Amino acid sequence: MTTSIRVEHLSKRYRIGLAPRRYQTLSENITHFLQAPLRTIRWIQTPHQDAEDTIWALRDVSFDVREGQVLGIIGRNGAGKSTLLKILSRITEPTEGSVQVRGRVGSLLEVGTGFHPELTGRENIYLNGAILGMKRNEIDSKFDEIVDFSEVKQFIDTPVKRYSSGMYLRLAFAVAAHLEPEILVVDEVLAVGDAEFQKKCLGKMGDVAQQGRTVLFVSHNMSAILRLTQECLVIEKGKLALRAASSEAVDFYLSAGNTNAGERVWDESEIPLSAAPFRPLALRLRDSRGQVHDTLRSTETFSIEIEYSVSAPVTGLRIGFYLNTARGEAVLTSFDTDDPFLYETHTSRPTGHYISRCTLPADTLNAGRYSLGINASSFAIRRYFEEEQALDFNVDAAGAPGTQWPEPRQGVVRPRLQWEITG
């Protein structure tokens, strides 16, 4: 077996603020430049650790990929997956280490890169194909196939700005799906589009894998990872945490506690004065073992924990959360004194430190991304504190009913329902 990709001691350092501070101005830089000698002196004096204003997005990552292997890459947002893909796709250079690739690398970090709204579907196929690295005669010979796959044949000479978002995505993916490099690098492109389309894309990905091409596949969709890959890398805080068979890697990823994620802590400075005497301290998500986590299993219970303090007695206070999907659709709203008994026993809360905890039953939420908001108020009297989007989290449906089929299921809930089949 030949090696298709060899990554050795790969590191990538970013200057913090380089990306977010988009509009550096000349004057800022002149100031920076004038301060340079001073900084250099300080830098020499202090034993040189990493400079304060830099972060390592990747640190000393090494691995090999065999030709024809489909390797999954999983990790939390900001773990360094995208940076790794960008280096492999040659978009950015590593700071240290090296990458060797055998053959053409096709990267799909996004579908429809370079699509121009004013151009027609036909024109965009050629443009996008060329951007992805296809030769003109290659596009010519695959043109009909691409159009068929996209299902937008009758609109092929219409500017794509008139397309629905679904048509646009189908066309964009159709071009990408017909790219035939020796190595394909795919980042979460399956997260878009409707369920039908996602199914088609997953099918196409499976085909690609069977043609013996090397594929690197990044996804937050654990079902897709399990379906398409045999082996996975787990990236944590820029380091390679584990390389293992996919099922093991997915388990590791879902159970590895990460205290930063799954928790929102309020700093005193963030709280408006109007909130007093209420003061929110933290909002946490705990999995069934009590660990704070931002990725929860659909098949297990989890709890939402609100920690707060009250600096003067409050009457009628209720603490609750809003649960919404990442797209902003409301899933449910619940308060700690919804229950008549608790309502009676907690008409007034004396000064003190509290935790209100709500446990959600297993088999409730479908896979996807959700967001939690909190609200502390006395009904019809006063709202002390509210934050609509305090904490985001993921639900993974691995093991949920129906996951034997690698298809996304529509809907927000995924209960375990009773079926009977009579014959």
Question: Residue numbers of the site for another protein (CB under 8 A)?
Answer: 14, 18-19, 22-26, 29, 86-87, 89-105, 107, 109-110, 113-114, 116, 118-119, 123, 126-127, 130-133, 135-136, 159, 182
Residue whose tokens read 């608790």: 342
Q: How far is the CB of 12 from another protein (least distance, A)?
A: 9
CA triple 143-144-150, angle to 5 deg:
90
* Euclidean distance between CA atoms 34 and 95, whole angstroms: 26
Residue 418, C-beta contacts closer than 8 angstroms, at least 6 positions apart? none
Q: Which is nearer to another protein, 88 or 250 (CB)?
A: 88
Q: How far is the CB of 418 from another protein (least distance, A)?
A: 47
Question: Other CB atoms closer than 10 Å to residue 24's CB: what's the count?
Answer: 11
Q: How far is the CB of 46 from another protein (least distance, A)?
A: 24
Q: Which is nearer to another protein, 7 or 222 (CB)?
A: 7
Residue closest to 80 by CA, chosen among 187, 4, 225, 223: 187
* Euclidean distance between CA atoms 355 and 276, whole angstroms: 17
Q: Over the range 270-290, which residues count as b (16 or more CB within 10 Å of their CB) and which as e?
A: ebeeebeebbbbbbbbbbeee
Verify cis geometry, omega within 30 degrees of 0, for the bond prior to 117. no
Q: How far is the CB of 204 from another protein (least distance, A)?
A: 20
Q: Which is nearer to another protein, 89 or 298 (CB)?
A: 89
Q: Which is nearer to another protein, 98 or 274 (CB)?
A: 98
Q: Which is nearer to another protein, 118 or 267 (CB)?
A: 118
Residue 211, C-beta contacts closer than 8 angstroms, at least 6 positions apart? none
Q: How far is the CB of 183 from another protein (least distance, A)?
A: 9
Residue whose tokens read 């200057």: 15
Q: How far is the CB of 421 from another protein (least distance, A)?
A: 48
Q: How far is the CB of 233 from another protein (least distance, A)?
A: 18
Element (H, E) at 218: strand 214-218
Q: Which is nearer to another protein, 114 or 352 (CB)?
A: 114
* Euclidean distance between CA atoms 231 and 393, whole angstroms: 25
Q: Which is nearer to another protein, 14 or 354 (CB)?
A: 14
Angstrom CA distances, 186 to 65, 167, 215, 385, stand at: 15, 21, 8, 42
Q: Which is nearer to another protein, 26 or 421 (CB)?
A: 26
DSSP-derived pairing of the beta strands 295-297 and 382-396: parallel
Q: How far is the CB of 213 from another protein (least distance, A)?
A: 11
